[in-house]
Amino acid sequence: MNAQLQPRLSRRAMGLRDLDAVLAVETAAYSHPWSRGNFIDSLAAGYQAELLEDSAGGLVGYFVAMPGVDELHLLNITVAPAWQGQGHGSALMQAVRALAQQLGLATLWLEVRESNHRARALYARLGFAEVGLRRGYYPAAARREDAVVMSLRVAAPEGPAHVV
């Protein structure tokens, strides 16, 4: 049998001690990466931030999401270039969706570069709809790039209703 063994992956909360590894992935993955300050500010604000790691503690990917009134806004989701194309982006997106459900939030929102066809296709496969355009949202080499705004209605978690 020639089955290739897949490493065991796990998720955990992102902390300040993780930022060197996160920034190494961020700069390898993007032409205009988030800064250390962006991550520090997100963690200080209490945004939801999780890492996906292999069994040796190597960073596979991460996400940062901001809860709001009845919504979760995905601010950053990244898979390390060496791990791309193996389903880890889908797994992280499922974790984000599960988080929205756990928090009782009805809608998941995100922006994606208009030119990022691979990510847009992933989001569409996961049920996201393109609902708007933010002109000049992202920095780019020659000029700013538009962002496609996408949303997904999130089903309520199974189980008894919460009464307030």
DSSP letter (8 states) at residue 81: G
Structural domain includes residue 161: no
Domain boundaries, position 79 = 10-153
Q: For residue 62, how far is the Cα from the chain centroid?
A: 6
Active site residue 137: no
> What Rg value do the Cα atoms of the chain yield, rounded?
16
Residues 6+ apart with CB under 8 A from 148: 111, 112, 113, 114, 120, 130, 132, 133
Does a structural domain hold residue 126? Answer: yes
Q: Tell me how many domains the chain contains.
A: 1
pLDDT at 164: 40
CATH code of the domain covering residue 31: 3.40.630.30
pLDDT, tens digit only, all 164 positions of the chain: 334 445 689 999 999 999 999 999 999 999 899 999 999 999 999 999 999 999 999 999 999 999 999 999 999 999 999 999 999 999 999 999 999 999 999 999 999 999 999 999 999 999 999 999 999 999 888 889 999 999 999 976 555 544 44
Q: What is the pLDDT of residue 163?
A: 44
Does any domain span residue 1?
no
Whether 4 is covered by a domain: the verdict is no
Burial of 92 (0-12, 13-18, 19+ CB in 10 A): buried
Q: What is the pLDDT of residue 142?
A: 83
The answer as to whether 164 is a domain residue is no
Per the residue annotation, which of 47, 111, 138, 145 is the catalytic one? Answer: 111
Strand 48-53 versus strand 10-13 pairing type: antiparallel
- Asked, for residue 159, whether it belongs to a domain, the answer is no
Instruction: Judge whether 2 lies within some domain.
Output: no
Check if 123 is active-site.
yes
Pick the catalytic residue: 47, 123, 138, 145?
Answer: 123
Contacts 24+ apart (CB under 8 A), 26-30: 26/78, 28/80, 28/81, 29/78, 29/79, 29/80, 29/81, 30/78
**CA dist., res. 99 & res. 13, Å (int):** 12
Beta bridge partners of residue 159, listed in sequence order = none
Give the separation between CA 96 and CA 91, rounded to whole angstroms.
9
Model confidence pTM above 0.85: yes
Q: Where are the alpha helices (DSSP H) in 30-164?
A: 36-44, 88-102, 117-125
User: Is residue 38 one of the residues assigned to a domain?
Assistant: yes
Scanning 5-155, the segments in alpha helix (DSSP H) are 19-29, 36-44, 88-102, 117-125
